[in-house]
Structure 1
Amino acid sequence: MKKQKIYMANDHTAEKMKRAIMNHLQNKGYEVVDLSPLNDGQSCSYSEEGLRLGEAIAKDKDQGSLGIAICGTGVGISIAANKVKGVRCGLVYELETAALIKQHNNANVMATGARLIAIEKALLLVDTFLETNFEGGRHVERVATIDDYLG
């Protein structure tokens, strides 16, 4: 059975972490799409990369694709991704949060910070995020409120 597609985006601070996560996911059979190919430590904008990821997720939403966003702290890239309608990006540094953003918020993008956590921990966060399911129930209406907001 083919595993779902995972889109990845990052700024220049997160290139090493992104490559480690990509290899990890490809070894597990995921199709990984790198939206932020960088050359020679070239600087780039977390905001542009977050928007690019958000647009890819929104375009591919009916396929159930997920995203992983990484910048220095994970904050900037997550703010940018969340600007795209249909994206629910959660910032995670801990395993419990990686699970809860899926269980309660049906997050379709996980963000983290390359300057703040080790690569080994990032791999555990990604696995937790991908292996956790949305609980539904009382959370369905709450997620719909967010998705339906036109502000």
Structure 2
Amino acid sequence: MTQTIALAADHAGFALKALLADELRAAGHDVLDLGTHGEASVDYPDYGFAVAQAVAGGRAAHGIAVCGSGIGIAIAANRVPGARAALCTSGLMARMARTHNDANILVLGSRIIGVEVARDCVHEFLNTAFEGGRHAGRVAKLDGATLKEAAE
């Protein structure tokens, strides 16, 4: 299924983001490249916010954010209401982020994982649906629902 994927990275994640963007385009996805566009030092929060705002605002179905460790850009992305960014280091983590947490942004650490693991994470993330059921109320709480609202 073709979808729009927002991508953003800081300087440490630039090369991995560029590779993933090319592969996503080759697979038929529309890529919303939010930068950075080179290896000059930039601030990861700017790019975490950008990808999260694109996803939470409906400009993209999912997002992928990359920095050196993945930690900082994940923290930034999760500050945006409606964004559920999950830092993943394996395909299993990416699949669980979708099935149980309805994560809408995959976060990768370019200095932590290799290209093949990154590809596996992207594949699992984009090809796994949210399971719903008992997880729906929990995800609603992530978005600010009360216990009573989540049960309804």
TM-score (norm 2): 0.91
Counterpart mapping for 1:127-138 below 5 A: 127-138=123-134
Tell whether the 8 Å contact from 2:5 to 2:60 is kept in structure 1 after alignment.
no
Tell whether the 8 Å contact from 1:24 to 1:123 is kept in structure 2 after alignment.
no
Equivalence for 1:30? 29
Tell whether the 8 Å contact from 1:46 to 1:71 is kept in structure 2 after alignment.
yes
The answer to whether the aligner puts 1:107 opposite 2:103 as a matched pair is yes
- C-alpha RMSD over aligned residues: 1.5
- In 2, the alpha carbon distance for the partners of 1:96 and 1:120 equals 14
- In 2, the alpha carbon distance for the partners of 1:37 and 1:93 equals 22
Shift of 1:149: 5.3
Tell whether the 8 Å contact from 1:104 to 1:136 is kept in structure 2 after alignment.
yes
Q: Which runs of 4+ in 1 moved over 3 A?
A: none
Equivalence for 2:47? 49
- In 2, the alpha carbon distance for the partners of 1:149 and 1:9 equals 29
CA deviation string 1:47-91 (max 9, x = no partner): 11101111111111xx76100000000000000000000000100
Counterpart mapping for 1:1-151 below 5 A: 3-39=2-38, 41-60=39-58, 65-148=61-144
Shift of 1:98: 0.6
Count of paired positions: 146
- In 1, the alpha carbon distance for the partners of 2:145 and 2:110 equals 31
Structure 2 unaligned runs (5+)? 147-152
TM-score (norm 1): 0.92
Give secondary structure in 2 for the equivalent of 1:148.
coil
Percent of counterpart pairs with the same letter? Answer: 38
- In 1, the alpha carbon distance for the partners of 2:145 and 2:133 equals 20
Per chain length, whose mean CA-contact separation is higher, i.e. which structure has more relative contact order (CA < 8 Å, sep 6+)? 1
Structure 1 unaligned runs (5+)? none
